[in-house]
């Protein structure tokens, strides 16, 4: 039986320190873990629900800060969204093209998905004017990747630094469909253009250089839109002016949140964890393939289909990991899991190379520099590449003072690394975890106990 002192949370004005006493997990992590709802699917269900006709019922919505930002934005444009909870959220849609002009600035908070997807929707509402902002991280993230295709569709958008950064101002317009060849494999870009295409004249096609997550395609279809996917050409075509009908959405658990437990179970000796109800959409399962290549012992049980998305329970047991190379088309399929994969690589034998992942530099933080510097503070051997990292293991990590840089995935990755460090690790600004995983710390306490 372990003591509660393994984890301490200290509140410091608006920020929190998470202090983890390392080396206290000698019996491993055990038990069954239920993870929170998928962030990508949660955003999309709120947005499509708000634009559909009739009622949408969402079961399993993520209660993190990011979907709360989406809900607040759409409420201020007239959608009636009940109090957010995991059981049942009701969204009374107002119909496509009938969003009201909000009386204040729309605040996307820390959420790139809220801002980028919403921009496609706002740009296509003729006659209405919108302003959009976010927190300091989001105001420094590139918006030109979605503004460029929207301008080609006829949108009117103004922003800082040559129309590339928020705050942004948008004059809604009648848009026209285009064929957009996206230079990056980004589901946010693809989804933004498709959502703009809902009210555009004719058809809108997006072609991407590698396959990114396809939750928008699946959900748009379920709500009644005509979406054609050409898997060989990596393109998606949407026909304008569908009738979207409210649906029941069952949000599966987020594999990006499951990833922390997959890695924790793999690296902590003696572990045996069952992670229940994980969404295993093939556009998201790169983490399972990468950990498989590293020799992780992960088994998939009870595979089923829930409201158009594949779902499984995943069981992970400890094993000695080996280094691997992660590059190319798999990157968009595990983009959000690279911080925790960097932690896994510190415990793997040999040098793990992560390439083609320059996108990490423009996430909630520069995840290449932040992970390399913070883990190196703990004694890791990581060198940065412009497009990734080289990580040599295995190393004995030691407790240190580290910082999340207000990035949720960094906070949680460092917490897992701290479990196996010698001495205490203090993670500053650890409250960032609540962006995608409000119950992360209590779940970690339960897995240790
Ligand atoms: C997301 C797409 C990804 C991902 C983000 C959520 C989405 O971003 O990193 O956390 O819901 O569409 P990109 O598509 O920009 O890579």
Is residue 121 very low, low, confident or very high in pLDDT (cuts 50, 70, 90)?
Answer: very high
Q: Of all atoms in ligand 1, which is nearest to the CA of residue 336?
A: 9
Percent helix / strand / coil, the chain, rounded to 5: 35, 30, 35
Q: Which of 268, 362, 276, 358 is nearest to 313 (CA)?
A: 276
Query: What mean pLDDT is predicted for residues 229-243?
Result: 97
Residue nearest to atom 11 of ligand 1 (CA): 40
Respond yes or no: is residue 336 known to be catalytic. Answer: yes
Is residue 3 very low, low, confident or very high in pLDDT (cuts 50, 70, 90)?
Answer: very low
Q: What is the crossing angle of helices 338-346 and 286-293, to 10°?
A: 10
For the domain made up of 6-37+253-448, the CATH class stated in words is: alpha beta
Q: Of all atoms in ligand 1, which is nearest to the CA of residue 363?
A: 9
- Pick the catalytic residue from 254, 336, 403, 407: 336
Q: What is the pLDDT of residues 350-362, one digit of tens each?
A: 999 999 999 999 9
pLDDT at residue 308 greater than cutoff 90: no
**6-37+253-448 and 39-250 agree in CATH topology:** yes
Report the percentage of the chain scoring pLDDT > 90.
96
pLDDT at residue 242 greater than cutoff 50: yes
Is residue 26 very low, low, confident or very high in pLDDT (cuts 50, 70, 90)?
Answer: confident
Q: Of all atoms in ligand 1, which is nearest to the CA of residue 43?
A: 11
pLDDT at 286: 98
Q: Does residue 191's CB lie within 6 angstroms of at least one atom of ligand 1?
A: yes
Query: What mean pLDDT is predicted for residues 399-411?
Result: 98
The residue ranges of every structural domain in the chain are: 6-37+253-448, 39-250
CA distance 382 to 367: 13
Q: Does residue 70's CB lie within 6 angstroms of at least one atom of ligand 1?
A: no
Ligand 1, pocket-test mutation among 36, 38, 40, 210, most atoms within 8 A of CB:
40
Q: What is the pLDDT of residues 49-90, one digit of tens each?
A: 999 999 999 999 999 999 999 999 999 999 999 999 999 999
Give the dihedral of Cα atoms 427, 431, 436, 437; nearest 10 deg. 80
CA distances from 17 to 24, 193, 406, 415 (A): 19, 39, 12, 11
pLDDT at 331: 98
pLDDT at 1: 43
Q: What is the pLDDT of residues 4-20, one digit of tens each?
A: 568 999 998 889 999 99
State in Å: Cα 6 to ligand 1 middle: 33
Q: Which of 193, 150, 195 is nearest to 173 (CA)?
A: 150
The superfamily (CATH) of domain 39-250 is Enolpyruvate transferase domain (3.65.10.10)
Q: Of all atoms in ligand 1, which is nearest to the CA of residue 256?
A: 10
Ligand 1, pocket-test mutation among 66, 110, 112, 206, most atoms within 8 A of CB:
112
Our CA angle for 200, 206, 208, nearest 5°, is 160
Residue nearest to atom 13 of ligand 1 (CA): 186
pLDDT at 5: 65
Our CA angle for 184, 188, 192, nearest 5°, is 110
pLDDT at residue 330 greater than cutoff 50: yes
Q: Does residue 186's CB lie within 6 angstroms of at least one atom of ligand 1?
A: yes
State in Å: Cα 435 to ligand 1 middle: 14
Q: Which of 110, 234, 231, 121 is nearest to 183 (CA)?
A: 234
**What is the helix (H) or strand (E) element at residue 43, kind and residue range?**
helix 39-51
Q: Does residue 336's CB lie within 6 angstroms of at least one atom of ligand 1?
A: yes
Question: Would you call 357 helix, strand, or coil by DSSP?
Answer: coil
Residue nearest to atom 16 of ligand 1 (CA): 186
pLDDT at 344: 98
Ligand 1, pocket-test mutation among 43, 143, 182, 188, most atoms within 8 A of CB:
188
Q: What is the pLDDT of residues 169-208, one digit of tens each?
A: 999 999 999 999 999 999 999 999 999 999 999 999 999 9
State the DSSP code for 174.
-
């Amino acid at each position: 039986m372990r003591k509660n002192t393994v984890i301490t949370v200290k509140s410091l004005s608006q920020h929190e320190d998470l202090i983890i006493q390392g080396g206290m997990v000698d019996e491993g992590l055990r038990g069954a873990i239920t993870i929170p709802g998928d962030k990508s699917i949660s955003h999309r269900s709120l947005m499509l629900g708000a634009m559909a006709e009739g009622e949408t019922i969402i079961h399993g919505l993520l209660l993190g800060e990011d979907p709360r930002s989406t809900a607040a934005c759409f409420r201020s444009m007239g959608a009636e969204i009940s109090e957010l909870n995991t059981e049942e959220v009701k969204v009374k849609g107002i119909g496509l093209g009938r969003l009201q002009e909000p009386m204040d600035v729309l605040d996307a908070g820390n959420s790139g998905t809220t801002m980028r997807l919403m921009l496609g929707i706002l740009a296509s509402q003729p006659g209405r004017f919108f302003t959009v902002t976010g927190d300091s991280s989001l105001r420094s993230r590139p918006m030109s990747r979605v503004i460029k295709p929207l301008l080609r569709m006829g949108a009117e958008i103004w922003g800082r630094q040559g129309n590339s950064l928020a705050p942004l101002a948008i004059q809604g317009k009648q848009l026209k469909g285009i064929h957009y060849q996206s230079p990056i494999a980004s589901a946010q870009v693809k989804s933004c253009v498709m959502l703009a295409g809902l009210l555009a004249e004719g058809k809108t096609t997006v072609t991407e250089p590698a396959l990114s997550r396809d939750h928008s395609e699946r959900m748009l279809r379920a709500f009644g839109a005509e979406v054609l996917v050409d898997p060989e050409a990596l393109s998606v075509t949407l026909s304008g002016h569908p009738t979207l009908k409210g649906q029941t959405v069952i949000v599966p658990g987020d594999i990006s949140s499951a990833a922390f437990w997959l890695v924790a179970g793999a690296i902590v000796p003696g572990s045996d964890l069952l992670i229940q109800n994980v969404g295993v959409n093939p556009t998201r399962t790169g983490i399972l393939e990468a950990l498989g290549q590293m020799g992780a012992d992960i088994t998939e049980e009870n595979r089923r289909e829930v409201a158009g998305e594949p779902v499984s329970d995943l069981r992970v047991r400890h094993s000695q990991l080996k280094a691997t190379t992660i590059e190319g088309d798999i990157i968009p399929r595990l983009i959000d899991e690279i911080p925790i994969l960097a932690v896994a690589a510190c415990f793997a034998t040999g040098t793990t190379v992560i390439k083609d992942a320059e996108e990490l530099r423009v996430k909630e933080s520069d995840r290449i520099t932040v992970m390399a510097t913070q883990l190196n503070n703990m004694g890791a051997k990581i060198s940065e590449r412009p497009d990734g990292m080289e990580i040599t293991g295995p190393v004995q990590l030691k407790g240190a003072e580290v910082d999340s840089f207000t990035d949720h995935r960094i906070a949680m990755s460092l917490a897992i690394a701290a479990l196996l460090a010698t001495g205490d690790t203090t993670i500053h600004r650890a409250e960032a975890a609540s962006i995608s995983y409000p119950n992360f710390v209590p779940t970690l306490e339960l897995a240790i106990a």
